[in-house]
Chain A
Amino acid sequence: MTVRVQTEDFDVGFEISQLRKMRKDTGAVVSFVGQVRDLNEGDSVSQLTLEHYPGMTERSLSLIIGQAKSRWDIFDALIIHRVGTLEPTDQIVLVAVSGAHRGEAFKACEFIMDYLKTEAPFWKKEVTQSGERWVEAKQTDDAARERWTTTHESIE
Chain B
Amino acid sequence: MKIKLFYFARLKETLKYSTEDLDLPADVVTILKLKAFLAKRGDVWGEMLMGKLKVRAAINHELVDDKAAIADGDEVAFFPPVTGG
Contacts and interface: CB of A to CB of B under 8 A. Distances in A.
B20 interface: no
Given A51-B8, A134-B10, A123 B58 contact: no
B84 A52 contact: yes
A62 to B, nearest CB: 11
Interface in A46-105: 50-53, 55-56, 59-60, 81, 92-93
Interface in A110-144: 113, 116-125, 134-137
A123 B6 CA distance: 14
Question: Interface residues of B toward A: which range?
Answer: 10 to 19
Given A53-B8, A123-B9, A81 B84 contact: yes
A137 B58 contact: no
Interface stretch (B21-29, B30-38, B40-48, B73-81): B73-81
A27 interface: no
B67 to A, nearest CB: 13
Nearest to A114: B85
Contact of B84 (A55, A120, A125, A136): A120
B4 to A, nearest CB: 12
Does more than half of chain A's interface fall in helix, strand or loop, or is it mixed? mixed
B82 A59 contact: no
Contacts of B79: 53, 121, 123
A93 B77 contact: no
Contacts of B61: 53, 55-56, 59-60
Interface of B: 6, 8-10, 54, 58, 61-64, 77, 79-85
11 contacts: A53-B6, A53-B79, A59-B61, A93-B85, A117-B84, A120-B85, A121-B77, A123-B79, A124-B84, A135-B83, A136-B81
